[in-house]
Chain A
Amino acid sequence: MSAAAARPAWRALLRLRRGYSVLLVLAAWETASRAGAVNTFLLPPASEVLVNLWNLATEGRLLFHLAESLLRVAAGLGLAVAAGIPLGLWKARSRLADAVLDPVMAFWFPVPKVGLIPLALLFFGFAHGSKIALVFADALLPLVVATYHGALHTDRRLIWSARAMGDSERRILWRVVLPAALPQIFTGLRLAVTVSLLVVFLAEMVASSSGLGHVMIYALRTLETKDVFSALVTISLIAFLADWLVIQARRRVLVWHA
């Protein structure tokens, strides 16, 4: 195994073994569509989707909608981080907070928040407000739960040492408990990012006049199927990149963590 991995030719073959199915599917898609085996309206060739994506991107409209979606995610997620981490820390450190938040979270967690889109629309309007509120509502809990678990399982000895060295409780919270909880918080953040993207695109499809979700549903209704596929590719790339960024940030911040 290790001897084989050392030789570059073998390594290339190994990589091919792990990737051939993707190439196969892409090739099948392209040829089926070009040969007319499937309706090109329902499944335009992959290459044409890419060309179309390039045109949409250089034309600028796609970038506008992309920015709209990202703005909503960033705002909702930012608020959720700002509220979720303190709430989680508080819940871990205070019995009262634990008693109050536990039942609230038990109710709130399993509720499919998209069902509340009308509520968001009525209270926060058709534009950015409703989407930011929905992202916030969905991203908050994973962050609270992750912070809580991380903070709860902080090594007692770390807290004792800090106390022995004369740190105030508040300082211990921010300097000891929070850093110790960071690995968990990043896990929660990763989940929160995934959920945020799911919700923002769904909300944009259901009720919006901008954003990538809107682009997709508008393209479907006007039967521009190439645009549907181009939007799907863009959304997938964004989701992939967002996840990658969280992982990179985690690696950067947690250099001390195994």
Chain B
Amino acid sequence: MNGAEEAAGKRRAARIGGATIVIAVLALWEGVSAGGFVDEQVLPRVTVVAAAWWELLLSGELPAQVASSLGRQAAGFSIAVVVGVVLGIAMARYRAIDDFAGPLITMILPIPKAALIPLVMLWFGIGDVAKTIVVFLGTILPVVVSAYHAAGSVDQVFLWSARSMGDNEAQLLRRVVLRAALPEIMSGIRMGLIISLIVLVGAEMLAGRGGIGWLVFYTLDTGAYRVTYAAMLTIAAIGFAYDRLFLAISRRLLHWVEQE
């Protein structure tokens, strides 16, 4: 009880501390820009950027570009999670699949995923399909690797007991292996989520039209720096919101695991 109270108190303190720091950074930004320490062209004031952001929101430009990005992200990410978890568990459970896919994944794993973007562009162009594939490739490897490790180290005792109580292979996989592996799989998915946003924004900056990454570079080229800043802040906010959402979902799914 005492521990829970203490934890709640710590969370509250963190929230207050966080708000203070955000306000301090924004005030510093405003001061630096308004005080003329940095060219106002290069670093527009916070208030100016906020106004630009509001305008962008009302005009429908920002929602449209964000929706375009999130659609690509959601499609590639969810396919990668499903395929990755299934493949990872299958590799851990079946020798033949591991022998085939394992060495290929070991070979692809260290490739910085950004380097695959030009290849995807060469084969699939610069449209939605190409960007969805980029997200898929960025997400799937951490997911496969974590699912493989987790499913491979499930406590044998669990498997034996489930078998002895009459579980067939499908039940075993779904009810025992997947569940026991879930905490580690979730940390792989979190990694995949972060990489997926990085490669998506990068791919949007590189080529094609539409998406929040495109908006950032388009406005940079046209010199509308206010809008560039507004779009960059939006990207940061998306990353932050996704992480929070992920943590909330993961806490729900893993309510039976002791949280730190």
- The chain A residues found within 8 Å of chain B, CB to CB, are 17-22, 25, 42, 99-100, 102-104, 106-107, 109-119, 121-123, 194, 197-199, 201-202, 205-206, 213, 216-217, 219-220, 225, 228-229, 231-232, 235-236, 239-240, 243
Which residue, A100, A102, A103, has most C-beta atoms of chain B within 10 A? A103
Q: Could you give 17 example pairs across A and B, Cβ below 8 Å?
A: A103-B22, A106-B18, A107-B22, A107-B240, A112-B236, A115-B212, A119-B229, A121-B220, A122-B43, A198-B112, A198-B195, A201-B114, A202-B117, A202-B202, A228-B118, A232-B115, A236-B110
Contact of A205 among B101, B111, B202, B236 (CB under 8 A): B202
Take A103-B17, A117-B205 as given contacts and tell me if A18 and B103 are in contact as well, using a CB distance cutoff of 8 Å.
yes
Which chain B residues numbered 198 to 234 have a C-beta less than 8 Å away from chain A? Answer: 198-199, 201-202, 205-206, 212-213, 216-217, 220, 225, 228-229, 232
Closest Cβ of chain B to A226, distance in Å, is 11
Q: Please indicate the chain B residues that have their CB under 8 angstroms from the CB of A42 in the complex.
A: 122-123
Known: A111-B235, A206-B217. A122 touches B225 (CB 8 A): yes
Known: A117-B216, A118-B220. 7 other contacts (CB 8 A): A103-B14, A106-B14, A111-B236, A113-B198, A115-B239, A199-B198, A202-B198
Min CB–CB distance A6 → chain B (angstroms): 21
What separation, in Å, do the CA atoms of A198 and B197 have in the docked complex? 13
Tell yes or no: B82 within 8 A of A by CB: no
Q: Shortest beta-carbon distance, A102 to chain B, in Å?
A: 6
Main secondary structure of the interface of A (DSSP, over half): helix
Minimum distance in angstroms from B33 CB to a CB of chain A: 12
Task: Tell me the complex Cα distance, A117–B212, Å.
Answer: 13
> B: which residues have CB within 8 A of A?
13-15, 17-18, 21-22, 42-43, 99-104, 107, 110-119, 121-123, 194-195, 197-199, 201-202, 205-206, 212-213, 216-217, 220, 225, 228-229, 232, 235-236, 238-240, 242-244
Q: Closest A residue to B194 by CB, please name it.
A: A110
Q: Are B114 and A118 in contact, CB atoms less than 8 angstroms apart? A: no
The smallest beta-carbon distance between A202 and chain B, in angstroms, is 4
Taking each of A42, A104, A112, A119, which has the highest tally of chain B beta carbons within 10 Å of its own beta carbon? Answer: A112
Question: Would you give the shortest CB distance from A111 to chain B, in whole angstroms?
Answer: 4
- CB-defined contacts of B213 to chain A, threshold 8 Å: 114-115
The answer for the CA separation of A69 and B241 in the assembled complex, in Å, is 32
Contacts of B22 in A (CB 8 A): 103, 107
A22 to B103 Cα, complex, angstroms:
7
Please state if B235 and A236 are interface contacts (CB–CB under 8 Å). no
Cα distance, A42 to B14, chains bound together (Å): 52
A143 to B242, CA, bound (A): 22
CB of B189, distance to nearest CB on chain A (Å): 13
- Given the complex, which residues of A lie within 8 Å of B243, measured CB to CB? 109-110
Closest to B190 in A: A110
Contact of A118 among B107, B228, B244 (CB under 8 A): B228
Provide the residues of chain B in CB contact with A197, threshold 8 Å. Answer: 112
B235 to A: closest C-beta gap in Å: 3
CB distance from A103 to the nearest CB of B (A): 3
Q: Which residues of B contact A21 (CB under 8 A)?
A: 99-101, 103-104
Report the bound CA distance from A118 to B235 in whole Å.
Answer: 12
Given A99-B17, A102-B17, the answer on whether A114 and B198 have CB atoms closer than 8 Å is yes
Bound Cα distance from A201 to B17, whole angstroms: 35
CB neighbours of B199 from chain A (8 A): 202
**Could you tell me the distance between the alpha carbons of A122 and B229 in the complex, rounded to whole angstroms?**
11
**Chain A residues near B114 (CB-CB < 8 A):** 198-199, 201-202, 205, 213
Asked if residues A19 and B103 are in contact (CB atoms below 8 Å), the reply is yes
- Shortest Cβ distance from residue A18 to the other chain B in the assembled complex, whole angstroms: 6
A232 to B108, CA, bound (A): 11
In the bound complex, residues from chain B placing their C-beta under 8 Å from that of A194 are 110, 112
Question: A104 to chain B: which residues have CB within 8 Å?
Answer: 21
**Which B residue sits closest to A109, measured CB to CB?**
B243
Q: What is the CB-to-nearest-CB distance from B38 to chain A, in angstroms, rounded to a whole number?
A: 8
B17 close to A216 (CB less than 8 A): no
Top 10 A-B residue pairs of the complex, sorted by shortest distance between their CB atoms: A103-B18, A115-B235, A110-B243, A202-B114, A112-B197, A198-B112, A202-B202, A111-B236, A197-B112, A110-B239
